[in-house]
Amino acid sequence: MELKRVVVTGLGAITPLGKDVQTTWENALAGKSGAGPITHFDASLFKTQFACEVKDFNPGELFDRKEARKYDRYSQLAVKAAADAMKDSKLDLEKENLDRIGVIFSAGIGGIKTFEDEVGEYFTNQEKGPRFNPFFIPKMIADIAAGHISMIYGLRGPNYATVSACASSTNAIVDAFNLIRLGKANAIVTGGAEAPITPSAVGGFNAMHAISTRNDSPQSASRPFSASRDGFVIGEGGIALILEELEHARARGATIYAEVAGGGMSADAYHLTASHPDGLGAKLVMRNALEDAEMNPDEIDYINVHGTSTPVGDISEARAIIDVFGEQSYKLNISSTKSMTGHLLGGAGALEAMFIALAIRDQVVPPTINFTEGDQDPDVDYRLNFTFNKAQKREIRAALSNTFGFGGHNASVILKQYSK
């Protein structure tokens, strides 16, 4: 069968860099950091006392007080992003067949704050017997944001969540892409959200030495490809993309950001939390994405890397790029926007897919911040253009985004300039 073409027609976001897409993008291009002291809880006794939080988010802008209590923060952020993406897409739902519009929306963890609150209340007040909020389970589960979005808009197409740790929302995008090009849906709201800035999440990542402890300088803590990197900075947010079948989009005169060219998936099959040191899964997933897109390495101009600022992961991903792209590696731009946004875990892939869509639209590469010349890692090949510290204008015909998750889950997506 002939596969249908798929395009991006709407974007929505609430991130540590801004409460909307445009503010987030402008701050990313300006090289601003979203990191600061944790305000969601008292982190004074934790090894890490900072994070990339969403600022000044008021759920009351979306829900009345009673309704808001049914949503964990991660779902609130998801609904905000989806609402903005739907508005941006200009889809007129009164004219659409809602049986053919779906929602594939992810979280790596889901409602961890709800879980903490409910279980904490139980153990604090055991003498009163088991008293749990009737919304405990539906607030906590990782698929509920997809459910909320479908119910708000009456979307009856494919509806589920992908859960693959930090690869979750890239997997969601790839699944949405595949269903649309197979003719199973006209459009899909896809993306991811996470709200993991909680005691158990920060404490858990501290225990495994995964996050930075640079408490004296939060804004410079995420420093991918620098010798002094000491882990990622945890972040939160919600990001949504509207993926749409091309002819459906053209028929209604939709604005097209970029075309989805292909996606890849793979597994490291190596370690619970660490990337394969030789980047085997990373190499495989990029090759799979290129094959799916029917593209050669020299057709990619920009890679938004997973680039979390961890000692092993950054090196293995850089080596994998060189192995896959060869001499083209030194001609393309690479950047880790996590240096500014922090790591949104299950929302990371959607945020970085949004960034490559905007990079293609505006023909500019956002930077990797916090690098200094005296902080070079001897195991990193600095002939690669990591777009350090300043955005760079260049021709971007196509861009690739990598995401790698605990458990060895890898997913990549390629977007390209739309042409008739």
Pairing, β 101-106 against β 398-405: unpaired
Q: What is the rounded end-to-end Cα distance, in angstroms, of the chain? A: 21
Catalytic residue ranges: 166, 306, 343
DSSP assignment, residue 330?
G
Phi first, then psi: give them for residue 303, nearest 5 degrees.
-120, 120
> Which token pair is 256?
């097209």
Residues 6+ apart with CB under 8 A from 241: 8, 10, 11, 12, 85, 173, 189, 190, 191, 350, 353, 354, 357
> Which token pair is 381?
């090949």
> Which token pair is 3?
């596969």
User: Cα–Cα distance between 319 and 314 in angstroms, integer?
Assistant: 9
Find, among 91, 21, 27, 46, the residue nearest to 337 by Cα. 27
Q: Nearest 10 degrees: CA dihedral of 145, 247, 304, 411?
A: 60
Residue 259: Cβ within 10 Å count: 20
Written as one letter, the residue type at 375 is D
Written as one letter, the residue type at 103 is V
> Which token pair is 217?
């300088």
Q: Note whether 267 and 367 are within 8 A (CB).
A: no
Residues 6+ apart with CB under 8 A from 321: 286, 303, 305, 329, 334, 384
Radius of gyration of the chain (CA): 20
User: Cα–Cα distance between 74 and 145 in angstroms, integer?
Assistant: 8
Q: Note whether 70 and 139 are within 8 A (CB).
A: yes
